[in-house]
Amino acid sequence: MNRPQIFVLVFICLTGYLTKSVAQIRKEQTELIDRYLSVQQQSIGFNGTVMIAGNDSIVYRRSIGKASLELDVRFSPDPVFRIASITKQFTAMLVVLAAEEGKLALGDQLRKYYPQLGQSDWGNITVRQLLIHTSGLPHNEGIADYWQKISFLPLSDQQATDEVFKLKLLSVPGAKTQYSSPGYFILASILEKIYHQSYGDILREKITAPLRMDHTGVCTATAIINGMVSPYHQLADRLITAPHRDYALMKGSGNLYSTASDLLKWNMALNGSGHFNKTVTDQIFAIQNAQQVNGRNESYGYGWFLRRSSSRERDFNFTGGGTYGCSAISGYYPNANISVVILSNVSTLPVGEMQSGIESIVFGDRFDIPVVRNAVKLEPLQLYKLQGTYTADNGHQLAIFLRGDQLYAKMGQNPFFELYASDSTVFFGKKVPVQVEFEKDSNDTIKGLTASFKGQLVHFVKNK
Q: Residue 377's closest CA among 407, 398, 399? A: 407
Please state which of the ranges 8-12, 27-31, 53-57, 274-278 shows the lowest mean pLDDT: 8-12
Indicate the pLDDT class of residue 25, thresholds 50, 70 and 90. confident
DSSP H/E element including 386: none
pTM of structure: 0.87
The predicted pLDDT at position 433 comes to 83
The predicted pLDDT at position 274 comes to 79
Domains (range + CATH), the chain: 81-362 (3.40.710.10), 380-462 (2.40.128.50)
Residues 6 or more apart whose Cβ sits within 8 Å of residue 357: 36, 367, 370
* Long-range contacts (CB closer than 8 Å, 24 or more residues apart) made by 307-310: none
Q: What is the mean pLDDT of residues 242-254?
A: 97
3-state secondary structure of 415: coil
The predicted pLDDT at position 3 comes to 44
Q: Each residue of 43-74: pLDDT tens digit? A: 899 999 999 999 889 999 999 999 999 999 99
CA 206/CA 202 separation, integer angstroms: 6
Q: Residue 81's closest CA among 46, 49, 34, 39? A: 49
pLDDT(443) > 50: yes
The predicted pLDDT at position 19 comes to 40
Question: How much is the mean pLDDT over the chain?
Answer: 92
Q: Each residue of 98-141: pLDDT tens digit? A: 999 999 999 999 999 999 999 899 999 999 999 999 999 999 99
Question: Kindly report the CA angle at 297 between 94 and 85, in degrees rounded to 5?
Answer: 35
The predicted pLDDT at position 8 comes to 37
CA 119/CA 135 separation, integer angstroms: 15
Q: What is the mean pLDDT of residues 28-36?
A: 95
The predicted pLDDT at position 4 comes to 43
Q: Each residue of 383-440: pLDDT tens digit? A: 999 999 999 999 999 999 999 889 999 988 777 889 999 999 999 998 888 999 999 9
Q: Each residue of 136-185: pLDDT tens digit? A: 999 999 999 999 999 999 999 999 999 999 999 999 999 999 999 999 99
CA 447/CA 462 separation, integer angstroms: 5
CA 190/CA 103 separation, integer angstroms: 10
Q: Each residue of 300-342: pLDDT tens digit? A: 999 999 999 999 999 999 999 999 999 999 999 999 999 999 9
pLDDT(253) > 60: yes
**Environment class of residue 229 by beta-carbon count within 10 Å: exposed (0-12), middle (13-18) or buried (19+)?**
buried
